[in-house]
Amino acid sequence: MGLRFSLGHMTTLALIGSLGIILDFTIPPSLQKGSEILGGTLLVLLGGWILYDSLKGKFYLHRHPHAHAGENHQHPHFHL
């Protein structure tokens, strides 16, 4: 599922980026700066949220079994 998610985003970005290059589209500086500030703010807030939850003890590791190609094994997973 993660691979499909990543490939979907990569394909979308590649298509839109290629179309922008072909059509010689430029993003206005005000929109570019605003987008960078919004994206940076979002990353800082998400990092703060995870740090807060981990300090409150909500961050934990557990294992559960998986079977791939007929072979049983366990994967560790982190959760908040």
The per-residue pLDDT for 69 is: 76
Tokens 């839109």 identify what position? 16
Give the pLDDT of the chain (80 residues) as one tens digit per residue: 678 889 999 999 999 999 999 999 988 999 999 999 999 999 999 999 888 888 887 767 777 777 777 788 887 777 76
The per-residue pLDDT for 80 is: 63
Report phi then psi at 62, rounded to 5.
-145, 165
Query: What is the spatial distance between Cα 36 and Cα 40, in angstroms, rounded to a whole number?
Result: 6
